[in-house]
Amino acid sequence: MSTNRYRHANVIPIASFATWAMVGIFVCAGGLGWVWCKNQLYTTGTEIKTLERELADLKDRNEAALTKIAQLSSTAKLRERYEHDGLIKLVPITNDHIVVLSNTDAPPRAGELRPASNERTHE
């Protein structure tokens, strides 16, 4: 047996091992990555669903509140509360409390002095 042959027979194929190890690591990493991605996809999906539901709930609650406001502040309801419940402390304006201002006098002629309003009131 020659010296060369002895040396070559026991050599460890590091390059080959390294190649296969790398392939193995990449495959494992790829597999794990795929699983992780898949898991992330599901988790995100669940989060999306939860957020969608929350958003829908908020929209519904908002709309329900708007409906309630519309019902409570509608002209008919306010009148009802005013007339029957007495909840709105408003005093109806009766005709004896209304003064209709209208200028019934003819316009003054040039140079004419007209009585001041307070003088006329005391007439």
Q: Look up residue 115 and give its two tokens.
A: 């009585």
Smallest gap from residue 24 Cβ to another protein (A): 28
Q: List C-alpha distances in Å: 17 to 9, 21, 26, 28.
A: 16, 6, 14, 16
Q: How far apart are CA 78 and CA 88, in angstroms?
A: 8
Which residue, 19 or 40, has its beta carbon nearer to another protein?
A: 40
Closest CA to 104 of 91, 120, 123, 90: 120
Quick note: the x/- pattern for another protein over 62-101, rule CB under 8 A, is -xx-xx--xx-xxxxx-x---------------x--x-xx
Which residue, 22 or 70, has its beta carbon nearer to another protein?
A: 70
Residues at the site binding another protein, with contacts judged by CB under 8 A: 41-42, 44-46, 48-49, 56, 59-61, 63-64, 66-67, 70-71, 73-77, 79, 95, 98, 100-104
